[in-house]
Structure 1
Amino acid sequence: MSDDNVILSLTAAVEARPDDPTLRLLLGGVLVDAGRAVEALAQAGLVLAHDPGNVAAQALMQRALNANAPAAADTGAAPPDEPQPSSQEKADPLAAYEEELSPVVPPRYAVPEKAAGPVPAGGPLEPASGEDDRRFDVESSGLRLADVGGMADVKERLELAFLGPMRNPELRRLYGKSLRGGLMLYGPPGCGKTFIARAVAGELGARFMSLSIVDVLDMWLGNSERNLHELFQTARRNAPCVLFLDEVDALGQKRSHTNSSSMRTVGNQLLAELDGVDSDNEGVFVLAATNTPWQVDPALRRPGRLDRMVLVLPPDADARETIIDRNLRDRPIAGIDLPKLVAETEDFSGADLTHLCESAAEYAMADSIRSGKVRMIEQRDFARALKQVRPSTGPWFTTARNVAMFANEGGAYDDLIAYLRKRKLLR
């Protein structure tokens, strides 16, 4: 029997017994399999209208929404006999389905009275899988700077340092701008420095390599320096390549504070690789990240190495909205006041916001376990979570304030001082 005949038979059975949820869910499952997910959403919505805690209906709705996601992303033209989707439906298919089913399904977000429509969804793409070069991971990033919410100042600095010259080779040659260089991102932990580095790689269409201390250090004398050289050689072979030095203060800490002779030689090797003494670093973009730039050896920050510093601050309001929405889009939510959450999470890092969403989900799940009835994540769960989750950036700003006041050699932390004064944390 064909799918159409099965659907017709089940539709007739549902019309004869409209109060039978089992029949409706069976029909909905067949509709999804037949590529008619919108009709399946309607069946799931009718069941949820009478039984909001029906787990099978919630699962069917999620399955139908997921089935529609690829079709919504298709940029090709619709068949002539089908109506073209509106710009709002193209931008946010989930919002369009929510509006269509609003009589029977509660909205995911609470919309302010003056708002013209639902809160736009957004979120970064996941990085594409990469390939190996020897024993080091060389990836191809699918991220773009547009996937990074907010951070306009950081994006502008990256555009000047890397992206503009790469996109305009004629102007680059005219002005004698080299494609080699380094930039150090610094700021509180959990604010997206690694994410930004991946986005730069995706924006350039370049390979991405991440280097940490565990990739370098070895117990045998000389092997750490050899590992560091191999990493840079791999980046040069895969140019254009973004080489990301995570926690650069661990590898390039101030040599005057280092008691280990082996760590001093590793630091010297890092300086030699950045200079490209034995090799050409053309096309190798070095991005470093640290929470404590004041512990990085000054030699690493001289011109030609990591000579530019960019402050990566806690996400602004636009970025917080994007991060919260991304963390909630695959979770069952209803009536979430997103603008209120954004206003209440100032100074939260991206990691703090993720933890906040997970805590709210835990409260809703715990209530469901106790009551035996599944419910949505609601605003009250976030109210409880906000009493427990606090921004983790406070201790960092306390330390950074002292550094900015008493150790601002050459104006290296002028942007940090400007931010602290803006927030009235420094006079």
Structure 2
Amino acid sequence: MSEESALVRSLRGAVAAAPEDVPLRLHLAELLLEAGQNDAAITEVAVALQHAPGDEKARELMGRAMGAPAPAPAPVQQAPAPAQQTPTVNPAAPAQEKPADARPGGFDWQAAEGEIRDVVPPRFVESPLRADGNDDPGDADAWEVDAPGTVRLADVGGMQDVKDRLEAAFLAPMRNPELRKLYGKSLRGGLLLYGPPGCGKTFIARAVAGELGASFLSVSVNDVLDMWIGNSERNMHEIFATARRQAPCVVFLDELDALGGKRSRTQHSGMRNTVNQLLTELDGIDAQANEGVFVLAATNLPWDVDLALRRPGRLDRTLLVLPPDAPAREAILRYHLKDRPIENVDLAKLAKVTDGLSGADLAHVCESAAETALLDSARTGTVRMIGMKDLLGAAKAVVPSTEAWFSSARNVAMFANEGGTYDDLLAYLKKRRKL
């Protein structure tokens, strides 16, 4: 018995080193079966059947481990079996009397599968993909569409200029179809939000969807690009097809400079074809079939966006989203401090000293101040509140993340402002004396 146990242990080690060696695993299972360890044998055979579903020895071992009767021998002239003998399958029985999953020998494989389902989980739970990596070319409902949200423009602190421009250029015509018809205002075209990173472009897009009572479909470059030829274009089409079915729906194209970069700088034909497909979908926004589909896009690098995307009827409305103003900074700070232990915090003063910081920078200020208070409490053993000293120290240590963006944008606004595209940016830079 000890020799057999040592052999089994050795075989277990060999199987662990070569898990796909089916004959070796079956040999182990056979030894386990002979030792009366049926459950362990079932586990090993089940794994072997995953690697080699048609292996006859594996099926035979599974049958033995599950207690199936031995296969009936060929019919010969013999005396009737005693009454107490285990019955065998009658070769002369009609074929329809066999269980649906029966195999020669009378073993019910469907029942066996149910027995081992909890022992060895299935290796695959998805349908096999086609050769091009897709399982259903027409399954546009696979895209996640968020239900109409509760976020409104009133939830966006400050930034009144941005709200006013959104209302005039986008929201008022959308919400007043009668006035739109009276004044001949076209719904054709979308809205491009641009500005430094971390200033709330995505949040504003969600607020617009909330104002319209529309579903929200966020799209990034990872959702569209595919390694298979033609799939990126199809993904782009399916996104808009989904939005049309879910109308009213806001399609939000995040990082448009990556999704719709200038084709003149793109060497890969697949990327150029994807931009072409996006142009085709945008051209259909005013068609009857696309009623209720509103397109918003955001980018930190508008000068890298293909010019064709910004022609009339496409993303022809442009809105600059700058770092939050004082009321917005106060609202952001209040939001990030509301669930933290604070005392004697002057938000107005804090908003004043954080001028120029983005929303992401302000969140970092609150996080750093909380970290300082936490470490101090850990050192002293006395829990203390977060105070103005912590917040002012954190604000002083944070370098505005927008500075690098403004350094690049300054050159564009001064020397590449064709048609007044960046007049808003130029005015802001002059006001801030950044020119």
Question: Counterpart in 1 of 2:145?
Answer: 138
Task: Give the superposition deviation at 1:337.
Answer: 1.8
Question: Counterpart in 2 of 1:64?
Answer: none
Task: Give the superposition deviation at 1:326.
Answer: 0.5
Residue-by-residue CA offset, 1:137-196 (whole Å, 9 max, x unaligned): 111221000000111121112112221123222111212333342010000000000000
TM (normalized to structure 2)? 0.66
Task: Give the superposition deviation at 1:286.
Answer: 0.6
Distance, in Å, in 1 between the alignment partners of 2:175 and 2:228 is 43
Question: Counterpart in 1 of 2:355?
Answer: 346
Distance, in Å, in 1 between the alignment partners of 2:424 and 2:391 is 33
What letter is aligned with 2:216?
Answer: F
What letter is aligned with 2:277?
Answer: Q
Q: Is 1:182–1:304's contact at 8 Å kept on the other side of the alignment?
A: yes
What letter is aligned with 2:211?
Answer: E
Question: Counterpart in 2 of 1:358?
Answer: 367
The answer on 1:330 being equivalent to 2:339 is yes
The answer on 1:381 being equivalent to 2:390 is yes
Alignment of 1:181-220 (within 5 A): 181-220=189-228
Distance, in Å, in 2 between the alignment partners of 1:318 and 1:255 is 40
The answer on 1:412 being equivalent to 2:412 is no
Question: Counterpart in 2 of 1:242?
Answer: 250
Q: Is 1:180–1:285's contact at 8 Å kept on the other side of the alignment?
A: no
Distance, in Å, in 2 between the alignment partners of 1:308 and 1:172 is 17
Task: Give the superposition deviation at 1:386.
Answer: 2.2
Alignment of 1:224-373 (within 5 A): 224-276=232-284, 280-373=289-382
Question: Counterpart in 2 of 1:47?
Answer: none
Gaps of 5+ in 1: 1-131
The answer on 1:174 being equivalent to 2:176 is no
| SS at 1:134 equivalent | helix
> Which structure's CA Rg is the greater one?
2
Q: Is 2:333–2:366's contact at 8 Å kept on the other side of the alignment?
A: yes
Distance, in Å, in 2 between the alignment partners of 1:354 and 1:385 is 11
| SS at 1:280 equivalent | helix
Distance, in Å, in 2 between the alignment partners of 1:314 and 1:358 is 19
Residue-by-residue CA offset, 1:270-303 (whole Å, 9 max, x unaligned): 1001001897332111110000000001000000
Residue-by-residue CA offset, 1:59-78 (whole Å, 9 max, x unaligned): xxxxxxxxxxxxxxxxxxxx
Q: Is 1:181–1:306's contact at 8 Å kept on the other side of the alignment?
A: yes
Distance, in Å, in 1 between the alignment partners of 2:288 and 2:240 is 9
Residue-by-residue CA offset, 1:311-331 (whole Å, 9 max, x unaligned): 000000000000000000111
Residue-by-residue CA offset, 1:342-398 (whole Å, 9 max, x unaligned): 111111000000010000000001111111111111111113212321211111111
Q: Is 1:150–1:316's contact at 8 Å kept on the other side of the alignment?
A: yes
| SS at 1:137 equivalent | coil
Q: Is 2:162–2:319's contact at 8 Å kept on the other side of the alignment?
A: yes
Larger RCO of the pair (alpha carbons < 8 Å, separation 6+): 1
| SS at 1:288 equivalent | strand
- What is the number of residues matched between the two proteins? 295
Distance, in Å, in 2 between the alignment partners of 1:269 and 1:328 is 45
| SS at 2:144 equivalent | strand
What letter is aligned with 1:223?
Answer: N
Q: Is 1:179–1:284's contact at 8 Å kept on the other side of the alignment?
A: no
Q: Is 2:191–2:317's contact at 8 Å kept on the other side of the alignment?
A: yes
Runs of 4+ in 1 over 4 A off after TM superposition: none
Task: Give the superposition deviation at 1:133.
Answer: 7.2
| SS at 2:315 equivalent | coil
Gaps of 5+ in 2: 1-138
Q: Is 2:350–2:392's contact at 8 Å kept on the other side of the alignment?
A: no
Distance, in Å, in 1 between the alignment partners of 2:379 and 2:313 is 61
TM (normalized to structure 1)? 0.67
What letter is aligned with 2:309?
Answer: L
Distance, in Å, in 1 between the alignment partners of 2:216 and 2:394 is 36
| SS at 2:165 equivalent | helix
